[in-house]
Amino acid sequence: MTAALSLPDRREWTVDDLAGLPRDRRYELINGRLVVTSPIGPHQDLSVRVLLAIEANCPPGVAPFVELSLLVDRRNQPRPDVAAVRLDHIDRSPVPVQDAALVVEVLSAENTLKWVQEKQQLYASAGVPCYWVINPRRGPITLTELTLDPATGRYRDPVLSTDRFETDRPWPVTLDLSALTKRWEALHGQVG
| Short-list 72, 67, 76, 70, CA closest to 13 | 76
Q: Give the pLDDT confidence score for residue 1 in this predicted structure.
A: 32
Backbone dihedral angles phi then psi of residue 2, each to the nearest 5 degrees = -95, 150
**CA angle (50, 56, 59) in 5-degree steps:** 115
d(CA 102, CA 134): 13
Q: Give the pLDDT confidence score for residue 38 in this predicted structure.
A: 65
Cβ neighbours of 17 (radius 10 Å): 17
| 8 A C-beta contact, residue 77 and residue 8 | no
Q: Give the pLDDT confidence score for residue 51 in this predicted structure.
A: 98
| Cα distances (Å, whole numbers) of residue 21 to 6, 15, 94 | 10, 11, 15
Q: Which domains does the chain have, with CATH numbers?
A: 39-191 (3.90.1570.10)
Task: For the chain, 192 residues long, give each residue's pLDDT as a single digit of tens.
Answer: 334 445 556 678 777 777 777 666 677 667 777 777 666 778 899 999 999 999 999 999 999 999 899 999 999 999 999 999 999 999 988 999 999 999 999 998 777 778 889 999 999 999 999 999 999 988 899 999 999 999 999 999 999 999 999 999 999 999 999 999 999 999 877 554
Q: Give the pLDDT confidence score for residue 33 in this predicted structure.
A: 76
